[in-house]
Amino acid sequence: MSVLWKNMTNFSFLPKYLSYFKNGTICTLVIAVLSVFAAVLPALMLALMRLSKNKVLKNLSGAYIALFRSTPVLVQLYIVYFGPFAVINLPSYKLFGFIDVSMLIPGIVALALNSSAYVAEIIRGGILAVDQGQTEAARSLGLTQAQTMRYVVLPQAVKNIIPTLANELVTMVKESSVIGYLGCQDLMWGTRTTVGATFIPLAPYIFAAAIYFAINYPAGKAIECLERRMRRGDVR
Amino acid sequence: MATSGNLIEVRHVTKRFGKNKNIVALNDCSLSIKKGEVVVIVGPSGSGKSTMLRTLNLLEIPTEGEVVFEGVNIADKNVDINKHRQKMGMVFQHFNLFPHMTVMQNLTLAPVKVKGMDEKAAEEMGLRLLDKVGLKDRASAYPIQLSGGQKQRIAIVRALCMEPDVMLFDEPTSALDPEMVGEVLEVMRDLAKEGMTMVVVTHEMGFAREVGSRVIFMDAGKILEDKAPSDFFSNPENPRLKEFLSKVL
């Protein structure tokens, strides 16, 4: 018991390796935010395709969503990295001096492709939650289907979408830990490296968990608050 | 084409719903509406009167039959329905104002985006029409800040801003508190006086009698009676109508 406690609280690595955790945290946040942002536009397209009456578009989008939701993100990451990005030459520029772009970009592309499948379903749900009467009113005024979507339905759907999208961001902060397998120096990569260099097996992971928690728990609470505020004005 | 002088002509329209198309909402309905007429449709719930009204601007697509508006069969798939809907205003039971827009934005959206009207001109027209229904001072309010009666008057003005040739009303007072019904009917009465062609689905028998040029009774997807209001209420022929009137009057 006392050994476990000792392992858990052995933070002697901190003075020397704290910068790994600091840079790793920045890297993780950059990846999570960029991936979710990059996912929004393709996801909107997928959602609109899914809702379209055109069977080809509908099934195409359905297949994409099924494919990306039914395979592990780590597999997708490797396929993207060793597939298309094996033939694309990226500059070895270092963002902030420590994030290698040649690994960051494939990572973001893979995570965004994955995330767009989930975000598409979030957007689709948000659109379907807008009262049908809104569409009918717009169409009865002579607006086309596209105009109705753009001026009437989507602005209202955004209200339903934003809180769930923020949740996706929280998920991405955690999921993005796979990017360390490419050698991209995110929080998990920094943690594993610390463990390997110091032979301290447990405490670095505890420390990393604490950082993830310190980001995601307040973020989750903030989202709940946002959700409540948005719901307040929600009467026709 | 439009030699008959009818603004709208519904010819043998049937509407079926459901997986096997086995629910019949409209059963071979025919109806013609002349310019300037106020046609009031009454009937028990589920009789198909709302479906009838919604087929007029193709919110419901008829399974069979034709809907001829200003000489064009708009039930034809090759017709650009958006063009014809511009000339058919519609008012809904639940108002369906756009909650993320101010009253003025609600009014000007379609004139500007659909007709390509100048924004200033659209706002001027909006203000003029708002003034007519006594709501000029609410132009910058959001729908949530309005009472039900105010919302419905705005919804009527929104439809009028497209300068339609006919106005369709789908139970416009059914979702209102009783004390607000009057203000909405008042606006509709004024509209009728100005010669607007109107088709009104309603439970307001007083309005039907007073303002209607014809009253139509529907039951089980069929038009059972179609008469001038005086005749309709004093000499009902159909036994279903007699029964209906004995309950609602």
- Quick: pLDDT tens for B48-83: 999 999 999 999 999 999 999 999 999 999 999 999
Given a contact cutoff of 8 angstroms between Cβ atoms, the answer to whether B82 and B69 are in contact is no
Measuring CA to CA, how many Å separate B121 from each of B21, B125, B221? Answer: 47, 6, 43
**Domain assignment present for A42:** yes
Residue A118 lies in a domain: yes
DSSP notation for A150-203: IIIIHHHHHHHHHHHHHHHHHHHHHHGGGGGGGT---HHHHHHHHHHHH---SH
Tell me how far apart the alpha carbons of residues B150 and B168 are, in angstroms, rounded to a whole number: 18
How far CA B177 is from CA of B94, B150, B152, B180, B182, in Å, comes to 12, 11, 12, 6, 10
Does position A201 have pLDDT exceeding 90, yes or no?
A: no
Give mean pLDDT, residues A138-159: 95
Q: Which of residues 163-182 of B touch A (CB under 8 A)?
A: 168
Q: Is A230's pLDDT higher than 80?
A: no
| pLDDT band, residue A224 (cuts 50/70/90) | confident
Does residue B39 contact residue B33 with C-beta atoms inside 8 Å? yes
Mean pLDDT of A198-219: 92
Closest CA to B14 of B5, B4, B23: B23
- Please compute the mean of the pLDDT values over residues B86-96 and round it to a whole number: 96
At B2 the pLDDT is 45
Query: Quick one: pLDDT band at residue A85, thresholds 50, 70, 90?
Result: confident
Q: Do B92 and A155 touch (CB under 8 A)?
A: no
Q: Residue A215 domain-assigned? A: yes
For residue B39, list its beta bridge partners: B199, B214
| Of residues B163, B169, B162, B165, the one with CA closest to residue B153 | B169
Q: What is the pLDDT of residues A95-117, one digit of tens each?
A: 787 788 888 899 999 999 999 99
Query: In chain B, pLDDT over 70 holds for what percent of residues?
Result: 98
Q: Give the pLDDT confidence score for residue B221 in this predicted structure.
A: 94
3 state SS of A83: coil
pLDDT at res. A9? 83
Q: What's residue A102's pLDDT?
A: 84
Q: What pLDDT shows up at residue B145?
A: 95
How many percent of chain B have pLDDT more than 90? 93
Residue with tokens 């709501």: B135
Q: Say whether A140 and B57 touch across the interface (CB within 8 A).
A: yes
Q: Is any Cβ of chain A less than 8 angstroms from the Cβ of B141?
A: no
Task: Show residues of chain A in contact with B114, CB under 8 Å.
Answer: 141-143, 147
- Partners of residue A161 in chain B, C-beta under 8 Å: none
Contact (CB<8Å) B99/A156:
yes
The answer to whether B159 contacts chain A (CB < 8 Å) is yes
For residue A69, give both structure tokens: 């939701």
The complex scores an ipTM of 0.92
pLDDT averaged over chain A?
90
Q: Chain A residues contacting B, CB < 8 Å?
A: 131, 133-134, 136-144, 147, 151-152, 155-156, 233, 235-236
B112 touches chain A (CB under 8 A): no
Residue numbers in B near A232 (CB within 8 A):
none
Looking at chain B, which residue has its C-alpha nearest residue A233?
A: B144
pLDDT of residue A234: 53
Question: What confidence score (pLDDT) does residue A93 get?
Answer: 81
Share of chain A above pLDDT 90, in %: 64
CATH code of the domain covering residue A58:
1.10.3720.10
Measure the CA angle with vertex B120, ends A148 and B149; round to 5°: 60
In the structure, what pLDDT confidence band is assigned to residue A13 with cuts at 50, 70 and 90? confident
Q: Residue A136 pLDDT > 80, yes or no? A: yes
Flag whether A111 is in a domain: yes
- What's the mean pLDDT in B215-240? 94
- Is pLDDT at A119 greater than 60 in this prediction? yes
A98 assigned to some structural domain: yes
Q: How confident is the model at residue A143, as a pLDDT? A: 96
Assess if residue A236 is contained within a domain.
Answer: no
Q: Supply A150's token pair.
A: 């753009």
Judge whether A19 lies within some domain.
Answer: yes
pTM of the shown model = 0.85
Q: Which one of B54, B85, B100 would you mutate to disrupt binding with A, by most A Cβ within 10 Å of its Cβ?
A: B100
- Which of A84-93, A165-174, A201-210, B204-213 has the lowest average pLDDT? A84-93
User: What mean pLDDT is predicted for residues A81-96?
Assistant: 84
Q: Residue A233's pLDDT is what?
A: 56
Low-confidence winner among A19-33, A90-104, B98-112, B203-217 (lowest mean pLDDT): A90-104
Residue B1 pLDDT exceeds 50: no
A190 lies in some domain: yes
Burial class (CB within 10 angstroms; exposed 0-12, middle 13-18, buried 19+) of B53: buried
In the predicted model, what is the mean pLDDT of chain B? 94
* Tally of structural domains, chain A: 1
Range(s) of the domain holding residue A91? 2-231
Q: Which residue has the higher pLDDT, A91 or A206?
A: A206
pLDDT at A163: 87
| Lowest pLDDT segment from A21-30, A83-92, A116-125, A214-223 | A83-92
